[in-house]
Amino acid sequence: MQRHVVRRDSAQGEVSIDVRIDGARHAPQLVLLPSLGRDSDDFDVIAAALAGGGYRVLRPAPRGMAGSRGPLQDITLWDLADDVAAVIEADRALCTSEASASHAKVIPAVVAGHAYGNWVARCLAVRHPRLLRGVALLAAGHRGATPATIREAISRSFDTSLPQAQRMQALQ
């Protein structure tokens, strides 16, 4: 596994995304997006297996998780999708320079979004379709409205301005 940081300027300010990468540069890109308030290390086991199966697995940590930083106030799913697009494009630039030397063709990525990550994946597909060849939605079901108390607890669980103990209590 490798780690890279991708930096980009957004309408809200500078964003840096910590990305875990498994697999060879010449392999097809597969992007795994975690659920709300979760880090991309949730995919450690499956990323290793997918890399072993011939994929280059990109796991960008959402803003506020791992080493990813950027404004959290008033951001939208579109902003998070743009973060992921920047990761794909940065990795593609590395792969393209290597592919030029070996005459290999870089193909569009497949993105898989788990739970909340499915909404980011959908926005990514709408806003940046040229980057993708497929979208997988994992645990994307939704039945009825989520109670306000649950939504508030989820929000507190990934609010990095709160003490760790309060965030853990919110997860429970």
Residues sharing a CB contact under 8 Å with residue 18, sequence separation 6 or more, in sequence order: 3, 4, 5, 60, 61, 65, 66, 67, 68
Q: How far apart are CA 172 and CA 160, in angstroms?
A: 16
The pLDDT value recorded for residue 98 is 55
Q: How far apart are CA 2 and CA 23, in angstroms?
A: 9
40-44, 54-58, 67-71, 147-151: range with lowest mean pLDDT: 147-151
Q: How far apart are CA 48 and CA 25, in angstroms?
A: 15
Residues sharing a CB contact under 8 Å with residue 50, sequence separation 6 or more, in sequence order: 22, 23, 30, 57
- Residue bearing the bigger pLDDT, 141 or 94: 94
CA distances from 152 to 32, 103, 146, 157 (A): 25, 51, 10, 9
81-94 average pLDDT score: 92
142-152 average pLDDT score: 72
Global pTM? 0.80
pLDDT at 101 > cutoff 60: no
Q: How far apart are CA 1 and CA 51, in angstroms?
A: 10
Q: How many CB atoms lie within 10 A of CB 6?
A: 20
pLDDT at 121 > cutoff 80: yes
Q: How far apart are CA 101 and CA 99, in angstroms?
A: 5
pLDDT at 134 > cutoff 70: yes
